[in-house]
Amino acid sequence: MISKQQIEEKYTAIFEQAPAYVVRSPGRINIIGEHTDYNEGFVLPTAIDKAIYVGIGKRDDHIIRLYAEDFKEYFELALADVHPVDKGWPNYVLGVVHQLQLRGANLKGFDMYIDGDVPLGAGLSSSAALECAVGFALNVLFDLEIGRVDIAKIGQLAEHTYAGVKCGIMDQFASVMSKAGHVVKLDCRDLSFSYKPLELDDYAILLLNTNVKHSLASSAYNDRRASCEEGVRLVQQKFPEVKSLRDVTLEMLEAHVRPVDMEVYTKCRFVVEENERLHQACDALEHGDIETVGRQMFSAHEGLSKEYEVSCPELDFLVDYVKSFPEVIGARMMGGGFGGCTINLVKKSFQDLLVERLAPIYKEEFDLELTAIKVIPSNGTELL
């Protein structure tokens, strides 16, 4: 955890005055609901206690000055000259500025210091956290009166246009909208949402990072999207009112997709069943039944691995290994696939012992270090 005072001191050392505001915007996890977002389905994310922090202050000219602690890098640009740059990290800030300019926001120059403790490359959405921190900070600094959902949308558009990643809305939405002790049940079709209680009691959420990213990820993602779209097209021939897999039942798939294309059928069935698992997990959360949530997670991993085929040997190994311990009640791969983390529901008292046992076996099997990340569900973007 980084303190407000640390940010203020660093900001003051670099920009020679105190920041007007310090904003914290968290990374996120997703309990269940993977590859459902681009099919207008449901997701179940929450923010975590790892975040991006920005200090911000006004200038009396039209210059943007940025400093990123992670890279020990300084960047400067005139507000009138905002455009995507070759250096990666400023684009997440500039993309948000650009979206605000398109909305006619009355911006002036500002100084911004950026730091964070979201582990990079672990699939915890550090980029979305940064975009939301920037949007939130500029909103308070210049009294823009932009609502939280719009801050999330601005972050998503910044990612599309300046970072070149066509992400869904989940990451930004979770970063801005989360509430400690809850998950957000988000409908990716219309962005309606509700909070479900996440009462973990004796359990904790432990992420195990494979420290691997297979190059299959982007091509496989495009293939899966195409399969889902093809399944919808086949069903639409009989049911023209169907807009996405969200509207499709298993019976429709059985009758209209399975006889035509078994591969497409299998991929579409996974998405339809994943939405169903999410609804069942939400019912269980309402009743404080964390064991049922865990079972749905194991079931989701099975589907992601065997049916949707977006897992990898490292992820499968970690999920299979933890299954043998009664202290682990649920685990699955999290994120797009082919690397990143597994998310595990583990008895609090067993977390360290599990990692102690698992790390050397994982190292022996794959010659890779295993990184454990303990996370606590937390509030979304806030002013410190």
Is 368 marked within a binding site? no
Q: How far apart (Å, rounded) are the C-alpha atoms in residues 292 and 274?
A: 15
Is 159 marked within a binding site? yes
Alpha carbon separation from 260 to 235, 236, 257 (Å, rounded): 11, 14, 5
- The amino acid at residue 174 is A
Is 36 marked within a binding site? yes
Is 8 marked within a binding site? no
- The amino acid at residue 289 is D
Say how far residue 241 (Cα) sits from the centre of its chain: 31
Phi and psi angles of residue 317, each rounded to the nearest 5 degrees, phi first: -60, -45
Is 66 marked within a binding site? no
Is 16 marked within a binding site? no
Alpha carbon separation from 12 to 63, 66, 348 (Å, rounded): 18, 13, 40
Return the beta strands (E) in 265-338 as ranges. Answer: 328-333
Is 124 marked within a binding site? yes
Is 121 marked within a binding site? yes
Is the Cα dihedral 28, 32, 38, 40 positive or negative?
negative
Q: Which residues face 51 on adjacent strands?
A: 26
25: which 2 tokens?
């915007």
Alpha carbon separation from 259 to 216, 236, 253, 281, 308 (Å, rounded): 28, 15, 9, 31, 19
Q: Are 43 and 162 in contact (CB under 8 A)?
A: no
- Catalytic residue positions, numbered: 171
Strands 110-116, 45-58: pairing is antiparallel
Is 34 marked within a binding site? yes
Is 221 marked within a binding site? yes
Strands 110-116, 63-68: pairing is parallel
> What residues contact 104, with CB distance under 8 A and at least 6 apart?
none
Is the Cα dihedral 294, 297, 302, 303 positive or negative?
positive
Is 13 marked within a binding site? no
Residues in the chain: 384
Return the beta strands (E) in 100-166 as ranges. Answer: 110-116
Which single residue is written with the structure tokens 């595990």? 344
Q: How far apart (Å, rounded) are the C-alpha atoms in residues 19 and 15?
A: 9
Q: Are 375 and 207 in contact (CB under 8 A)?
A: yes
Q: Which residues are annotated as a binding site for Mg(2+)?
A: 127, 159
Q: Which residues are annotated as a binding site?
A: 34-37, 121-127, 159, 221
